[in-house]
Structure 1
């Protein structure tokens, strides 16, 4: 299913899977390989196995874990490369960072796939389907890779969805349609149904997930015990498994690469303001605050610099994050000028680390939280008042950087 879903009150889970990841990185970094059958893992006549194969190679029957010599026989024109796991790791980190721009709840499964729970942040980006489309576009435009995404209310359906229309697929399983979505699929698609279990079920005349969903629970549980109850639930589209990041979020950050290197400090500061707003919104959406604000600056030809400052109290406030990051930016550029260096800016970023859970407290907390929740996705409309004595300063700052009057 591909229609947009309302998703009101429902969990929103994405499974994101990079298509033919290792081979795609090779084709991205070596344009001469694009459109050719690329086989990653070693040379054609070595004793190793295939780590990955491009879709062009898969058309010849080449598959992962196949002996390299067999792959060479199936695909004599294949381009065999040993692979570069350091580059694959860097590409994976970039993709996971992109995912983390939309939710702190990212559960990597491997270098090339992850579950995302966007339930708490979907409204900031236009809904879960809009997030999926945006991730696909950004992965292609910013990273030169192709992403398939499944969107559903649970991990099971999201994972199966992302697998169904590769490459470059997007499958949306709308809330309430999970059982119907799974019904026509073969039993081999269902988590927990391995070859031995499938053999038994097929012996009973069951061929599809829908067949299993309609089976007598007493019969299935008598044969498979507790496992039987689990696979019956999944066959009916029920999966309460949660998205669990491998570790708690340590930082929240955004960065921007300019189309052309710039020497205009106003342009850099305007961009930094937008980045700080995005970081603040994500912190509030996840009920997080942080104490350490880090500026990342990349200048031509390719020098990366970072500066950071730790606050007395943790914050989730856009303007606080921006003011500190702007001060760090000005310090870095001033140091360059004093050293006689001209530093065209290629990339600017800001992150907040030392994060703790809990919304930021202040005067009239309940009313403030209600206003923020109603306006989280209104860019440059409201910053959230954590202390009333700073209201005039905020208004002045916003008048400088917004073409709309403060409210």
Structure 2
């Protein structure tokens, strides 16, 4: 939702759960509380830390560290394997708590959400008290070890900025009277959405600080950013309205996994992992009722090399086995032409499959040689049954494995799959 025009009342709350994955583990396992823990997809020494606890962060453990490096810094670090279903369950409970205050709740990621009280101003006289009540309700109704930082501001961007300023368990309010003091001590890269490349572009044009950015004219910002994004920066920092609350459809979907030492030893397991990535994308496309027109495969190896392939499909596809077979055919052709080792080999470190350029299912043209209507309907029905009775009640042959290698993982990014039926704005 865009809400343009001068708007200065701090009625937007950004809730950021602190060290969410680790805190969920500490919530269900009392032994882990007050200890430095690191949530990892795999807990071998080459495993990657995807979520350090608050205690671990204080000792210098950072997101993305290899587990063996983290243990050198903190010998008492407790590695914990990730449990995605647990984090989804806590996420849903937290959203239910937030929706008790207003229907205008927008989940931004697995551990973040926006609560817009703009339409509820007659109900809530003190927005700070609402924030404190949210903290209490999460503590009492979801988990007593879960903490969150909350930013309050007239728009979602500034509320997000506020939530980043005090962690853990912080509460920061940004208003027209306080914004300059807030920005004064920050770097450009401290602003959500500004990375090193964008910061360099701004600095090259004389915009060296967040305050410079705030007071630059919208015309200058549009020229520097070479797009409407510059105007959006002006609106965010000058209370010109809301430009960050729109819910958008998927532009692309990606399934990616880091590969463990045990998995890469077996060509069969690597092949199963590739099938599972394709199944993940099929599930998402079925839920969104779209077909893809482009598919890409990318993998990295331990020696720094990579392989990347992109295919523009002659006909839109949704079926996982069709995607898998297409990728395998491309592998075999590449290996034959270049007389090289298998693409899925023992030195592979990670692999990903992506699909994009979507077309709504109802607009997919019929094939001249094959009527896929029944197959497409069956695929959709399978996922409806899974959603109603459980994912293990009806399975395709490709999902039946004695020792499945595919680990369910979840990231901090898109969580549209959890809220497909909800569109509060």
Residue 147 of structure 1: aligned partner: 148
Which residues of 2 match residues 277-356 of structure 1 at below 5 A?
A: none
> RCO (CA 8 Å, sep 6+): is it higher in 1 or 2?
2
Give me the whole-angstrom Cα distance separating, in 1, the residues matched to 2:102 and 2:114.
Answer: 11
Q: Does the 8 Å contact 2:34/2:55 carry over to 1?
A: yes
Shift of 1:236: 3.5
Measure the CA separation in 1 of the matches of 2:173 and 2:72.
39
Contact 1:41/1:51, CA 8 A, preserved across alignment:
yes
Q: How far off its partner does 1:202 sit?
A: 2.8
CA distance in 2, matches of 1:25, 1:105: 25
Q: 2:158 touches 2:237 (CA, 8 Å); kept in 1?
A: no
Q: Is the Cα–Cα contact under 8 Å of residues 155 and 236 in structure 2 kept in the other structure?
A: no
| Displacement after TM superposition at 1:71 (Å) | 2.0
* Separation in 2, partners of 1:43, 1:75: 18
1:49-68 correspondence runs (5 A): 49-68=48-67
Shift of residue 224 of structure 1? Answer: 2.5
For 1:244 and 1:121, locate their aligned partners in 2 and report how far apart those are by CA, in whole Å.
19
- Other structure's SS at 2:242 match: coil
CA distance in 2, matches of 1:141, 1:242: 30
Deviations 1:320-354 (A, max 9, x none): xxxxxxxxxxxxxxxxxxxxxxxxxxxxxxxxxx9
Q: For 1:133 and 1:119, how far apart are their aligned partners in 2?
A: 18
Change beyond 3 A, Cα 1:204–1:87: same
Aligned equivalent of 1:25: 24
Matched, 1:207 2:208: yes
8 Å Cα contact 2:10-2:152 kept in structure 1: no
Q: Could you say which residue in structure 1 is the equivalent of 2:236?
A: 234
User: What does 1:234-273 correspond to in 2, within 5 Å?
Assistant: 234-241=236-243, 243-244=245-246
User: Secondary structure, in 3 states, of the residue corresponding to 2:63?
Assistant: coil
- Distance in 1 (CA, whole Å) between partners of 2:26 and 2:159 is 27
Distance 2:120 2:224 in 1: 42
Aligned to 1:194: 195
Q: Does structure 2 retain, via aligned residues, the 8 Å contact 1:193–1:231?
A: no
SS across alignment from 1:193: coil
- Structure 1 unpaired stretches of 5+: 1-7, 248-353, 358-407
Q: Alpha-carbon deviations, 1:97-125, whole Å to 9, x = none?
A: 00000010111011211001112224334
Q: Distance in 1 between matches of 2:58 and 2:8?
A: 43
**Paired position in structure 2 for 1:45:** 44
Counterpart CA distance in 1 for 2:201 and 2:8 is 38
Quote the Cα distance in structure 1 between the aligned partners of 2:8 and 2:225.
34
CA deviation vs aligned residue, 1:299-330 (integer Å, no higher than 9, x gap): xxxxxxxxxxxxxxxxxxxxxxxxxxxxxxxx
Q: CA RMSD in A?
A: 3.0
Distance 2:26 2:52 in 1: 11
- Name the residue aligned to 1:157: 158
* 1-structure distance, mates of 2:46, 2:83: 18
TM-score, normalised via structure 1 length: 0.54
The count of aligned residue pairs is 243
The 1:53/1:231 distance shift into structure 2, 3 A limit, reads: same
- Does 1:114 pair with 2:113? yes
Question: What is the aligned partner in structure 2 of residue 367 from structure 1?
Answer: none
Alignment partners' CA distance in 1, 2:173 and 2:99: 21
Change in 2 beyond 3 A, CA 1:219/1:113? closer
Q: Does the CA contact (< 8 Å) of 1:37 and 1:77 recur in 2?
A: yes
Q: SS of the counterpart of 2:118?
A: coil
Maintained 8 Å contact 1:43/1:68: no
SS in 1 for 2:232: helix
Deviation of the 1:137 alpha carbon: 1.4
Q: Is the 8 A contact 1:179 1:236 kept in 2?
A: no
What TM-score do you get using the length of structure 2 for normalisation?
0.51
Cross-structure match for 1:284:
none
- The whole-number CA distance in structure 2 between the counterparts of 1:148 and 1:131 is 13
Change (3 A) 1:127 1:235: closer
1:96 is the counterpart of 2:95: yes
CA distance in structure 2 between the aligned counterparts of 1:73 and 1:100, rounded to whole angstroms: 43
CA contact (8 A) 1:100 1:106 kept: yes
Answer yes or no: is the 8 Å Cα contact 2:8–2:176 preserved in 1. no
Aligned mates of 1:55, 1:192 — CA distance in 2: 24
